[in-house]
Structure 1
Amino acid sequence: MLQQIVTHTPFHIWLLLGVLVWRGLAASRDRAVTLRQALVLPVVLLALSVQDMANRFGFDGLPAASWLAGTLAAAMLAWRFTAQAPRVIAPGATAATVLQRGSWLPLALMLATFATKYAVAASCAVAPALAGNTVFATTACALYGMFNGLFAGRALRCLPWPYRRHATALSCATGR
């Protein structure tokens, strides 16, 4: 059965996995990125998550509420974690760049997001009634939301307004 699922997976899904791995490997190195680059992945993952949730479970009721709760909780957690570790993200040399410390966490989160979405899609393909199961839909949407929130919370730290007051302290902390 697993072999059938894998062989019937469209090619563009494997291409997406390759892009996510490539982006995750890039995130493992220290780098200066523009604000636009820092926000692209969270926005794309958010759009894919909302589209998948709306198409599979509907964007109302308990699934939407669990997605929103997961997103907000994880975003606050990521925001707080990034604030506690000022060397993770710091202002760049120009106003439109940020310095991001290399980490394997984005790769792990991207692979976990991909695996969750793949497992939900495969489960619904094998047992279409699962899409109507409230517990399954609520759990899947909460997981989607948690992944979105983790990416969003970190991305929001890249926006320039958190650094207006602390730009000097952060620059000194990173040695730049």
Structure 2
Amino acid sequence: MSAPMIVSHVPLWVWLLLAYLVWQGSQALSDHTVPLRRVVLVPIVFIIWGLSGLISRSEGSMAPSLTWMVAAASLIPAGYRIGPRHMTIDRARALVHRTGTPWPLVRNVSLFAAQFAIGMAIAMRPEQQFALGLLRAALSGALAGYFLGWALAFRRQYEDAGRMTA
């Protein structure tokens, strides 16, 4: 099966997700103020996408689940440490002011591309499904772990902002 044929069978939601991630990342290039709910939407999307990798077919093997868990646990500290930076949180109005950075655009598109490439590889090389499935589990776990760490760091900042105004 050719790559163009496989790409033509990619579900619409995948292209919509890519468009959303590019749009969100492009917004992050300049200073901006956004509603609190928009700040947490991308991490939620990636955590859910990462969790979906845990539910993938393991064909009776524990290896994908263990790979997922190790990758998730390994990246939680990185997400927490790198996490949301250069933000000012206005809890009263549920707004977040962020300074411009290319990091979210690069991160989001790179992670999407990696997930997409693994999916394409699995479709094009079904005989390597187990090995590629382990790679998908590792990436999915890493996504979930990183963004869980990010969310924990954001929650800490949000709580700190409440203490500063109290």
TM-score relative to the length of structure 2: 0.77
The answer to whether the Cα contact below 8 Å between 2:81 and 2:153 also exists between their aligned partners in 1 is: no
Counterpart of 1:8?
9
2:154 is paired with a residue whose SS is coil
Counterpart of 1:142?
138
2:161 and 2:104 mapped to 1: Cα distance?
22
The answer to whether the Cα contact below 8 Å between 2:87 and 2:96 also exists between their aligned partners in 1 is: yes
Distance 1:52 1:65, change over 3 A: closer
Counterpart of 1:128?
126
2:145 and 2:18 mapped to 1: Cα distance?
20
The one-letter code sitting in structure 1 at the alignment partner of 2:115 is K
List gaps (5 residues or longer) in structure 1: 169-176
The answer to whether the Cα contact below 8 Å between 1:98 and 1:158 also exists between their aligned partners in 2 is: no
The one-letter code sitting in structure 2 at the alignment partner of 1:112 is S
Q: What is the total number of aligned residue pairs between the two structures?
A: 162
Instruction: Show the 5 A alignment for 1:24-103.
Output: 24-57=25-58, 61-82=62-83, 88-92=86-90, 94=92, 96-103=94-101
Distance 1:129 1:57, change over 3 A: farther
Following TM superposition, by how much is the alpha carbon of 1:76 offset from its aligned partner in structure 2, in angstroms? 0.9
Q: Does 1:118 align with 2:116?
A: yes
The answer to whether the Cα contact below 8 Å between 1:71 and 1:148 also exists between their aligned partners in 2 is: yes
Counterpart of 1:17?
18
> What's the CA shift string for 1:117-175, capped at 9, x where partnerless?
212221222223433x2x4323221222223333333333222224456x48xxxxxxx
TM-score relative to the length of structure 1: 0.73
Following TM superposition, by how much is the alpha carbon of 1:25 offset from its aligned partner in structure 2, in angstroms? 0.8
Distance 1:118 1:82, change over 3 A: closer
Runs of 4+ in 1 over 4 A off after TM superposition: 162-165
Distance 1:88 1:66, change over 3 A: farther
Counterpart of 1:109?
107
The one-letter code sitting in structure 2 at the alignment partner of 1:63 is P
List gaps (5 residues or longer) in structure 2: none
2:61 and 2:107 mapped to 1: Cα distance?
26
* Structure 1, 155-164 or 138-147: larger mean CA deviation: 155-164
Could you tell me which of 154, 158, 161 is aligned with 1:158?
154
Query: Percent of pairs identical after alignment?
Result: 27
2:105 and 2:148 mapped to 1: Cα distance?
15
Following TM superposition, by how much is the alpha carbon of 1:59 offset from its aligned partner in structure 2, in angstroms? 10
